[in-house]
Amino acid sequence: MANLLSLKRRIRAAQNVSKTTRAMQMIAISKLKKAQNATLSGRPYVEKLSAISQNLSSKLDDKYIHEYMKKPESASKNLVLVFSPDKGLCGSLNSNLIREIVSFDSQNKDSVYLTVGKKTESTIVNLKKELIASFKFGTILPSFDMVLPIVKIIDEYFLSKKVGNVKIISTSFLSVFSQKPKITDILPIEFPKPSSLQSGEKSESSPFTLFEPTPQVLLPSLLRHFLEMTIYQQMLESFASEQGARMVAMQNATDNALEIIQDLKLEYNKGRQEKITNEILDIGGATFTYSYE
């Protein structure tokens, strides 16, 4: 009897787990569609912004180089922005991202970090690295306002030559079922030179392009916007990756819970049938003994 009660409790617990994981899966699906659309629609904009910035910078003399395009010779440190979820239950996404951080840190000891998301904050602390700022990633689609304080910190460290490079460690959204951690260099901004273009590839630059106002006036604001959009795009990629990974993880968890429920029900029915059979045998044995006497 005690065994049957235990099986009942386990079945009820597995059913509660399956309901919870199913609900989390549906929430992730509802967020994923919006995040996927925002991520995929943002990529062409960033690419075109990069092409326009490259075209504009090619019009300037070599003597004029914006601060975002200069690498401070006196600074060897890296400023690393790490984008991660605030919560877990998204498969191996967080563990893969942490593995990428540890691998990067082993090769770049002289780095300071800024985290957006709570899941990697403890990793940076355990590595005994300098954590200059930490922000929450949130559970909804990131807004562009999140980028502004980050860019302000980047300006403080890069323009004052405290760091020589600014990089982002985040998760790239390849598909709903595939997400991969990657490292993106954002400062100093480097555009491919015309000589580095592959054969058959056309340059965006044209000798007949006119700019109003002058390229010297346009370039600073354009490069800053390019920096902001690059950071924001990586945030969108991270959020879409989180929702895709969580949807798949919760779907697998729901399927596993349903399989466990079926196995437990089968075991429960076998035990219940055995109990009923033993009771019938006991009743039959007692009746036979009474009739014989």
Distance between CA 277 and CA 168 in Å, rounded? 67
Closest by Cα among 151, 180, 162 to 241: 180
Q: What is the model's pTM? A: 0.83
Residue 110, pLDDT score: 86
Task: Note the pLDDT tens digit of each residue in 115-163.
Answer: 999 988 888 988 888 899 999 998 889 999 999 999 999 999 998 888 8
Return the pLDDT at 202: 47
8 A C-beta contact, residue 186 and residue 100: no
Helix (H) / strand (E) element for 173: namely strand 165-175
Mean pLDDT by 10 residues, the chain (293 residues): 79 91 92 92 91 81 78 83 91 91 88 91 89 90 92 91 91 90 89 53 54 79 91 94 93 92 88 81 63 49
- 145-152 contacts at long range (C-beta below 8 A, 24 or more positions apart): 146/116, 146/232, 146/235, 147/228, 147/231, 147/232, 147/235, 148/228, 150/81, 150/114, 150/116, 150/231, 151/224, 151/227, 151/228, 151/231
Does residue 29 contact residue 289 with C-beta atoms inside 8 Å? no
DSSP 8-state secondary structure symbol assigned to residue 138: -
pLDDT attached to residue 282: 75
Q: What is the pLDDT of residue 196?
A: 44
User: Edge-to-edge strand order for the sheet containing 130-135?
Assistant: 130-135, 111-116, 78-83, 165-175, 178-187
Q: What is the pLDDT of residues 229-256, one digit of tens each?
A: 999 999 999 999 999 999 999 999 999 9
